[in-house]
Amino acid sequence: TEQEGTKSVESMASDGRSGAAKRPREAEPPDEFVCCITQEVMHYPVLLHTDAGRSYERSALEEHLRGHPYVDPLTNQRSRSKLVFTPNR
């Protein structure tokens, strides 16, 4: 039972009030900061020189290019030459 002037934690939560300050929700990172291979925020982004001009996490791109040196990981299009990337900071 609730005493007058005192509310349970459950009732405060249900009416949107609580004694503690609410933490702000963590914002999602912009898509440009997320590697399309790993779906994680990039720590060492590199720019792949293709028509798509997309950045990737270096280790994920290196792994992809070891098995598919002529294939863009985003578009799956083949290139006439090995794909080249540079740091993107």
Give the pLDDT confidence of 40-86 residue by residue, as tens digits: 999 999 998 888 888 999 999 999 999 998 999 988 988 888 888 88
Give the pLDDT confidence of 3-47 residue by residue, as tens digits: 555 544 444 444 555 555 666 667 889 989 999 999 999 999 999
Instruction: Assign 65 to helix, strand or coil.
Output: helix
pTM of the shown model? 0.65
Taking the alpha carbons at both ends of the chain, their separation in whole angstroms is: 59
Q: How many CB atoms lie within 10 A of CB 46?
A: 22
Spatial neighbors of 61 by CB under 8 A, at least 6 apart, are 37, 46, 48, 73, 85
